[in-house]
């Protein structure tokens, strides 16, 4: 027997979802009514019933971090009590973010709830998160997340079923208080989608010919996906995928695929016995880092190379409709778009801004400097997708990653690029620094420093070309006459104080005579940024915590 209960509750302060849903420390999420209040706010805003009274269908899954399994049972009970007709859930409540986005679209559902704090560490004392994706498979837009937040400030009750746990270990259909629960294999539909996009036989032939790869799944969600696709379907050597078992604390790793956190992979790729290709992905599988033997590929360059070569993969052989990048991402992809004669778009930070462009058929490939790349096959960035597109390109071009990069730079020029992060700054200090910088923008054009002349400076504002919505104050841009650029913004995803992100870029056409280490090439731009923003004076920081 199951009983539907209505529980009296009261608002909990601070349940404000950011660009990637609501992220908090796990103990906060496990606190009384915390998860329940937020889930009820989601259901209240998106609705659990269709206009004809029938119940809606949702997808549910997460990256396997601590509390994922318990939260899934709560969300199932609440979906049932709120009148949903059906929930499609990954076995053991596991789904990577891109796989969840795909299932939402494939089964034409009314959206989905993803349990993840992405690349943030997981565990009893680390981070947990919940986000809602719409029926197009993409993150809820700001209007929806704002409405959810508003609802959390008014909530007075939530609905939940009293029942035993649903057995999520067995694939198949069960029921919970009249709601259908379909437990599905988290990997198979996603792997089938990848087979439609990429030339699996060509990649298989490459692996059979001795091509060696290392994939670091960082004890996070992509392990089972990578083993099935790379080792089982494409014939990569057994053991190609390391840290392949998702663990609730990610084995203590920080599952963020960048040179700092995926250091073991970087060491291997720059070592004597380096494989031909290396890759890593994050907690929920939407981010990727790719690296060749002794050849690191910056995410901005990766986006540009993928855009320039996508037509080599079956899913993109008709060419691209357009390329979109977030504002802080380097302009390398724009140069490719210009050469291809296709549109390029510059959006604010965050994947949700790509959704409209993808839905409207204006862009096919999108990317961010923060190790996110994806296409119109889903409405999230997709780590393994990027890895497979690179493999497809390598299989067709039969060149090394280093050679492909070198040819790319020779043809398009090189956008030297780096991001410096200053973490856990006191929020008031970071805010004061940004306010002072914003206040100085009008006086900057014409100003010279470090041998560079400032051409323009602004606070990036974006008008969505599809729906006309305007997003203001998305980050300070300082553009120099030689094409160099400085961008500063505060992170919207941190959970502790403020994180300052400083993005640095310098363009060199053809063979450039600059030192080819990006930090060296960018040295004058870095000095200019510190001088202009007075980072040390405001925050006391000189050295970044993370350099990517």
**Interface residues toward Zn ion, by CB under 5 A:** 118, 282, 284, 286-287
Residue 375 interacting with ligand G1P (CB under 6 A): no
Rg of the chain on CA atoms, in Å: 23
Q: Within 188-298, where are the H helices?
A: 188-197, 200-208, 222-226, 263-269
Q: If we measure between CA atoms, which residue out of 306, 304, 305, 299 comes closest to residue 280? A: 299
Residue nearest to ligand G1P according to CB distances in the complex: 491
DSSP label at residue 223: H
Number of residues that bind ligand G1P (CB under 6 A): 14
Read off φ and ψ for residue 438, nearest 5 degrees: -60, -40
State the angle between helix axes of 34-46 and 68-81 in degrees (0 to 180), rounded to the nearest 10: 40
Residue 118 catalytic? yes
Q: How near is the Cβ of 55 to Zn ion at its closest, in Å?
A: 30
Q: How near is the Cβ of 92 to ligand G1P at its closest, in Å?
A: 24
Q: How near is the Cβ of 500 to ligand G1P at its closest, in Å?
A: 10
Cβ proximity of 148 and 17 under 8 Å: yes
| Terminal CA-CA length for the chain | 54
Q: How near is the Cβ of 87 to ligand G1P at its closest, in Å?
A: 25
368 contact choice in Zn ion, ligand G1P, none (CB below 5 to 8 Å, kind-dependent)? ligand G1P
Q: How near is the Cβ of 548 to ligand G1P at its closest, in Å?
A: 10
CA distances in angstroms from 426 to 100, 429, 431, 533, 536, listed in the order given:
36, 5, 9, 16, 13
350 contact choice in ligand G1P, Zn ion, none (CB below 5 to 8 Å, kind-dependent)? ligand G1P
With contacts defined by CB under 6 A, name the span among 29-37, 175-183, 464-472, 491-499 that binds ligand G1P. Answer: 491-499
- In the window 327-356, what residues touch ligand G1P (CB under 6 A)? 349-351
Q: Can you tell me whether residue 188 is helix, strand or coil?
A: helix
Q: Based on CB atoms, which residue is closest to ligand G1P, 186 or 494? A: 494
Of 118, 326, 330, 370, which is the active-site residue? 118
Q: Based on CB atoms, which residue is closest to Zn ion, 23 or 287? A: 287
Q: Bridge partners of 381?
A: none
- In the window 494-523, what residues touch ligand G1P (CB under 6 A)? 494, 501
Q: How near is the Cβ of 329 to ligand G1P at its closest, in Å?
A: 8
Q: Based on CB atoms, which residue is closest to ligand G1P, 177 or 307? A: 307
Residue 415, CB half-sphere, CA atoms under 13 Å: how many?
30
SS3 content of the chain, % helix, strand, coil (to 5): 35, 25, 40
Alpha-carbon span 117 to 423, nearest angstrom: 17
Q: Based on CB atoms, which residue is closest to ligand G1P, 374 or 518? A: 374
Residue nearest to Zn ion according to CB distances in the complex: 118
Residue 368 interacting with ligand G1P (CB under 6 A): yes
Residues at the interface with ligand G1P (CB under 6 A) = 20, 118, 326, 349-351, 368, 370, 372, 491-494, 501
Catalytic residues: 118
């Amino acid at each position: 027997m199951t009983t539907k209960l209505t529980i009296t509750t009261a608002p909990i302060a601070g349940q404000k979802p950011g660009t990637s849903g609501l992220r908090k420390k796990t103990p906060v999420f496990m606190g009384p009514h915390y998860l329940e209040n937020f889930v009820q706010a989601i259901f209240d805003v998106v609705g659990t019933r269709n206009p004809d009274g029938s119940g809606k269908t949702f997808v549910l899954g997460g990256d396997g971090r601590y509390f994922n399994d318990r939260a899934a049972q709560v969300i199932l009970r609440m979906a049932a009590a709120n009148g949903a007709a059906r929930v499609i859930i990954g076995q053991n409540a596991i789904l990577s973010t891109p796989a969840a986005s795909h299932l939402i679209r494939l089964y034409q559902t009314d959206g989905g709830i993803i349990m993840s704090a992405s690349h943030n560490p997981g565990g009893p004392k680390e981070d947990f998160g919940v986000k809602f994706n719409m029926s197009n498979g993409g993150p809820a837009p700001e209007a929806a997340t704002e409405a959810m937040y508003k609802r959390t400030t008014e909530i007075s009750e939530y609905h939940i079923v009293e029942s035993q746990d649903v057995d999520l270990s067995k694939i198949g259909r069960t029921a919970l208080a009249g709601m259908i629960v379909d437990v599905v294999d988290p990997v198979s539909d996603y792997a089938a989608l990848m087979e439609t996009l990429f030339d699996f036989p060509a990649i298989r032939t490459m692996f059979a010919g001795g091509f060696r790869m290392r994939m670091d799944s960082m004890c996070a969600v992509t392990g089972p996906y990578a083993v099935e696709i790379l080792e089982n379907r494409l014939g990569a050597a057994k053991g190609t995928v390391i840290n392949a078992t998702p663990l609730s604390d990610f084995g203590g790793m920080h599952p963020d695929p960048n040179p700092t956190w995926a250091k073991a992979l970087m060491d291997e790729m720059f070592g004597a016995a380096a494989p031909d290709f290396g890759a890593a992905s994050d907690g929920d599988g939407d981010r990727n880092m790719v690296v060749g033997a002794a050849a690191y590929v910056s995410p901005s360059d990766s986006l540009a190379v993928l855009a320039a070569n996508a037509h080599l993969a079956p899913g993109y052989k008709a060419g691209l409709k357009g390329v979109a990048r977030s504002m802080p991402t380097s302009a390398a992809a724009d140069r490719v778009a210009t050469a291809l004669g296709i549109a390029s778009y510059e959006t604010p930070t965050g994947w949700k801004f790509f959704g409209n462009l993808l839905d409207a058929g204006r862009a096919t490939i999108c990317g961010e400097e923060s190790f996110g790349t994806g296409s119109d096959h889903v409405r999230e960035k997709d780590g393994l997708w990027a890895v497979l597109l690179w493999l497809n390109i390598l299989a067709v071009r039969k060149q090394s990653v280093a050679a492909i990069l070198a040819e790319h730079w020779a043809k398009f020029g090189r956008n030297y690029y780096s991001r410096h992060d200053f973490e856990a700054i006191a929020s008031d200090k970071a805010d004061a620094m940004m306010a002072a910088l914003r206040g100085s923008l009008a006086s900057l054009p014409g100003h010279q420093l470090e041998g560079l002349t400032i051409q323009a400076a602004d606070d990036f504002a974006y008008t969505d070309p599809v729906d006309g919505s305007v997003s203001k104050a998305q980050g300070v841009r300082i553009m120099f006459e030689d094409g160099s650029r400085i961008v500063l913004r505060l992170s919207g995803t941190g959970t502790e104080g403020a994180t300052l992100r400083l993005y640095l870029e310098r363009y060199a056409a053809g063979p450039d005579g600059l030192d080819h280490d990006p930090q060296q090439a960018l040295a004058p731009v870095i000095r200019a940024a510190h001088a202009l923003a007075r980072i040390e004076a405001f925050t006391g920081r000189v050295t970044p915590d993370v350099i990517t």
